[in-house]
Amino acid sequence: MATVTAVTPQLKARGAAPAAARDVTVTDPALVKRAVKAAALGNAMEWFDFGVYSYIAVTLGKVFFPSGNPTAQLLSTFGAFAAAFLVRPLGGMVFGPLGDRVGRQKVLALTMIMMAAGTFAIGLIPSYGSIGVGAPLLLLAARLVQGFSTGGEYAGASTFIAEYAPDKRRGFFGSWLEFGTLAGYIGGAGLVTLMTALLSSADLLSWGWRVPFLIAGPMGVIGLYLRMRLEETPAFAAEVEKAEAERPKVPLREMVAGQWRALLLCVGLVLVFNVTDYMLLSYMPSYLTSELKYDETHGLLVVLGVMALMMIVQPFAGALTDRIGRRPVIAAGCAGFLFLSVPALLLIRQGSLLAVALGMGALGLLLVCFTAAMPAALPALFPTRVRYGSLSIGFNVSVSLFGGTTPLVVTALIGATGNMMMPAYYMMAAAVIGGFAVWRMSETAGRPLPGSAPAVESR
């Protein structure tokens, strides 16, 4: 990438142009693609672990917790899983401001190392039968490391891509971040499904469960290599140059109180994005099995098929946000979940494979409205000086309070009311909040990021 200074004839005719109008970043296509790959791989690793942990939870319960009560083992396993969400905001508060101070590339390299180390470490932990209570404690420690590092991952990766991409194609390049999410989840869940089919229960319990976690080691090395090869984003480099010295520390107060309106919009957008995301990809397999008594294997295959469909549509939807704007696409997703959640869930409850696939497919395509638009829309809420920090705080607070708790809250609502339509009502409520946030946000497609020079593809 290069920053050039150019004055157009139109500007000359009007007189001297402001510096911000004359400075233009010309992007390097090869460098942009490398940045997208490096950022997306980190997201893929996070969700690879998510897919593995979710679908091998019963086996992990037997490995790490006392035998006797399978339900207690499973609850303990998911308790360790949920612990990672508790520390995500803390990770965001540490890595976000650090990324605004020392650079996006350095912090993203650090989060990649921590994520890979935490996941790899799970594959090395001895069983409860070998070391007793030390096993679940080590599992919890590894999950906390994962959660803490994840707190700086999504905001950093989306900021990284947004600051590298040309203004007119930011939606397209940003959409590949969630492509990595879907690929990682499919890879993790698919690998567990394959190993469950190929290995006996005894082999899976004794050593097979370790294999998916140990794969994180090589993945982490590749991701670290890709991220270390990248230069700092031009937006951050320009911000450092403006300071003409070591960057002054931005107070946490400025990232919150100084950006309160953008933070509230961020929380609302992330709420509808993650409630619907976790509902479809995390909760619905359990809903099909436990509430509707659907065959577990068929339920998993349907979810994996929906994610594959989303991957195919994702880049095209990202390009669409560049053409018509982020707001119309996100608004369409909110309207879709508001009016189609009940019909889709009624289809799913009908029970036949075709009906379940149609209902889940409809929800998946609506979710693409968010997965395609959010990686470009969220970084554009904040100026360069506080972008990483403010986005990390807003994103992780919203995910921890609303997204990660979705399966638990919906299960409790069904238990308290006996109403099997609660998943639809919950998504509709999230859509209303998201719709209000879309109404209040500004359109950012095709425009420079706040505090950054325009970014173009050619001189």
Q: Which domains does the chain have, with CATH numbers?
A: 2-6+21-447 (1.20.1250.20)
pLDDT over 70, % of the chain: 89
> What is the pLDDT, as a whole number, of residue 296?
63
pLDDT over 90, % of the chain: 34
Using the predicted structure, report yes or no on whether residue 5 has a pLDDT greater than 50: no
CA 299 to chain centre: 23
Mark out the alpha helices in 18-56 (DSSP H runs).
19-22, 29-55
pLDDT, tens digit (0-9, with 9 covering 90-100), for 154-169: 889 999 999 999 999 9
Q: What mean pLDDT, rounded, does the chain reach? A: 84
Q: Minimal CA–CA distance to 381: which of 457, 327, 302?
A: 327
d(CA 153, CA 286): 27
Report helix, strand or coil for 114.
helix
> What is the pLDDT, as a whole number, of residue 369?
97
pLDDT band at 288 (very low <50, low <70, confident <90, very high): confident
> What is the pLDDT, as a whole number, of residue 74?
63
Report helix, strand or coil for 247.
coil
d(CA 41, CA 60): 25
Q: Minimal CA–CA distance to 153: which of 186, 188, 104?
A: 104
pLDDT band at 1 (very low <50, low <70, confident <90, very high): low
CA 206 to chain centre: 32
pLDDT band at 71 (very low <50, low <70, confident <90, very high): low
Do 391 and 159 touch, CB atoms closer than 8 A?
A: yes
Using the predicted structure, report yes or no on whether residue 17 has a pLDDT greater than 60: no
- Residue at 146: amino acid letter: Q
Q: Residue 200: which residues within 8 A CB-CB, separation 6 or more?
A: none
For 250-277, b/e burial (b = at least 16 CB within 10 A) is beeeebbebbeebbebbbbbbbbbbbbb
> What is the pLDDT, as a whole number, of residue 297?
67
- Strand runs (DSSP E) across 339-436, as ranges? none
pLDDT, tens digit (0-9, with 9 covering 90-100), for 390-422: 999 999 999 988 887 888 788 788 888 889 899
Do 457 and 169 touch, CB atoms closer than 8 A?
A: yes
Classify the C-alpha dihedral 94-99-100-103 as positive or negative: positive
> What is the pLDDT, as a whole number, of residue 14?
32
> What is the pLDDT, as a whole number, of residue 441?
94
Do 265 and 444 touch, CB atoms closer than 8 A?
A: no
pLDDT band at 183 (very low <50, low <70, confident <90, very high): very high
d(CA 450, CA 76): 44
> What is the pLDDT, as a whole number, of residue 172?
96
| Eight-class DSSP state of 459 | -
> What is the pLDDT, as a whole number, of residue 8?
34
d(CA 166, CA 160): 12
> What is the pLDDT, as a whole number, of residue 320?
97
> What is the pLDDT, as a whole number, of residue 73?
67
